[in-house]
Amino acid sequence: MKQLINLVCVLSIFTSAAQQKPAYRIVDKNGKQTTYAKLVKAASNSEVVLFGEFHDNAIAHWLELELTKDLAQRKKLVLGAEMLEADNQKQLDQYLKGEIDDKKLDSTARLWPNFKTDYKPLVDFAKEKNIPFIATNIPRRYASLVYKKGFEALSGLTAEEKTWMATLPIAYNANLPGYVKMVQEMGGHGGENLPKSQAVKDATMAYFIFKNIIRDAVFLHYNGAYHSDYFEGISWYLKRSDATLKILTISTVTQTDISRLDTENLLKADFIIVVDEDVTKTY
């Protein structure tokens, strides 16, 4: 009878787990289960948090907002995003100050198609709480210029244009695994300038993050996961500016089975959000 009761209990546990159907889990870089509370604590003890997202992932966007709200209760914040380009900082500041409305921002700044659903809530939170929000990315036309003509083409820009990017000349290590992998995955298409066009974005985002760090505050930055995965990209450039900087990285991955982290996703970041691949995309 006792064995029968134990069997029923075990079956009940498995049935309950199956019915819960969690959409995501949070693990550490080694794939060990961790908690959102530990993520918040680690983030609050950092100087820079790089939240690596998939741009169409609903869970990542939700957690970005939740982490922002919870961190704001613990620490002074500065926010920044890849999705806003440095030459649109003026319009962004005007919106944050209430000098222009969302329609004017949309018509004067180059906003991503999913800005309203995925990033505007973050900007609006900053506006409500009077938190600085930094447009950290290089204007895309200059990244495109690097892709076509290399870093050298940037030297011919005006003094004003050069204020919208990292200080020239751009430091670059072609042997960083992320850049090497990019060339391999493209089968050589794009040549040596393809990873350079990525690097100029990484360098510029790191430049504006570092420039806007405030003492005893956390700079929370939202970017595509590939810009900070494996502690490269933005992290590499930030460490060049200050090797002692306390940087926390978060990555987003999708899997068919989220019960354990796939081997290919190990060591991507300090915290990894493992999302069920069936979760609805935002676009």
CATH number of 231's domain = 3.40.50.11550
Q: How much is the pLDDT for 13?
A: 40
Q: In what order do the strands lie in the sheet with 133-137?
A: 24-28, 271-276, 247-255, 48-53, 217-224, 76-85, 133-137
First CA to last CA distance, the chain: 54
- Residue with tokens 């504006």, as numbered in its chain: 208
In a domain, 18, yes or no: no
Rounded distance between C-alpha atoms, residue 259 and residue 212, angstroms: 39
Q: Do 198 and 183 contact (CB within 8 A), yes or no?
A: no
Rounded distance between C-alpha atoms, residue 55 and residue 123, angstroms: 16
Total domains in the fold of the chain? 1
In a domain, 246, yes or no: yes
In a domain, 265, yes or no: yes
User: What count of residues does the chain have?
Assistant: 283
Buried b (16+ CB within 10 A) or exposed e, 228-255: bbbbbbbbbbbeeeeeebebbbbbbbbb
In a domain, 174, yes or no: yes
Residuewise pLDDT in 10s, the chain (283 residues)? 555 555 444 444 444 445 689 999 999 999 999 999 999 999 999 999 999 999 999 999 999 999 999 999 999 999 999 999 999 999 999 999 999 999 999 999 999 999 999 999 999 999 999 999 999 999 999 999 999 999 999 999 999 999 999 999 999 999 999 999 999 988 767 789 999 999 999 999 999 999 999 999 999 999 999 999 999 999 999 999 999 999 999 999 999 999 999 999 999 999 999 999 999 999 9
In a domain, 15, yes or no: no
In a domain, 73, yes or no: yes
Rounded distance between C-alpha atoms, residue 158 and residue 201, angstroms: 19
The pTM of the full predicted model, rounded to 2 decimals, is 0.92
Rounded distance between C-alpha atoms, residue 161 and residue 124, angstroms: 28
Which residues constitute the domain of residue 94? 23-276
Q: How much is the pLDDT for 53?
A: 98
Q: Do 215 and 221 contact (CB within 8 A), yes or no?
A: no
Rounded distance between C-alpha atoms, residue 76 and residue 63, angstroms: 19
Q: How much is the pLDDT for 18?
A: 54
In a domain, 282, yes or no: no
Give how far Cα 280 sits from Cα of 39, 78, 105, 216, 283, Å: 24, 30, 28, 37, 9
